[in-house]
């Protein structure tokens, strides 16, 4: 099972460099949740930091690295779980002209949010999951 972490600093008092240091330490404490990969994403202007520890299950390639940024650059996701119908959702998105870099369910959720919006994507998901967007 992967590990997700992160924080929101609405005060703007934390620099992006400090945010990265903090969220990296937070993610390191979750190493036992995902020994295969780790990553962080920070936006100092928004005061948001997300960390992820990966246990690779679906797409074992580096294309499954998280946090993952959408193709349009507007969305970031850290995810853990299993979406049973992700192949069907992937097919729907491909039919809509959405390009994919890999074959992960993470990317399907992310590109679904970019294409359909969060509520519609969540309504389409069948499975068990935790998501940070």
| Integer Cα distance of 80 and 50 in angstroms | 13
| Integer Cα distance of 13 and 44 in angstroms | 9
Angle at 4 between CA 96 and CA 46, to 5 degrees: 75
Residue in 2, 14, 42, 113 annotated catalytic = 2
- Give the other-Cβ count within 10 Å of 33's Cβ: 17
H or E segment at 86?
helix 86-95
111 CB burial (10 A radius; 0-12, 13-18, 19+) = buried
Known catalytic residue: 2?
yes
Burial 68-83 (b: 16+ CB within 10 A, else e): bebeeeebbbbbbbeb
Q: What residues act catalytically?
A: 2
């Amino acid at each position: 099972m992967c590990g997700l972490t992160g924080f929101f600093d609405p005060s703007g008092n934390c620099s992006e460099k400090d945010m990265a240091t903090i969220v990296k330490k937070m993610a390191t404490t979750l190493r036992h949740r995902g020994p295969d990969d780790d990553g962080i994403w920070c936006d100092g202007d928004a005061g948001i930091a997300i960390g992820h520890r990966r246990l690779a299950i679906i797409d074992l390639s580096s294309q499954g690295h998280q946090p993952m940024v959408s193709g349009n650059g507007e969305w970031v996701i850290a995810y853990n779980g299993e979406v049973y119908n992700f192949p069907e959702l992937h097919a729907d998105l491909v039919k809509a002209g959405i390009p994919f870099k890999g074959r992960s369910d993470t990317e399907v959720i992310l590109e679904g949010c970019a294409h359909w919006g969060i509520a519609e994507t969540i309504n389409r998901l069948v499975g068990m999951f935790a998501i940070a967007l």
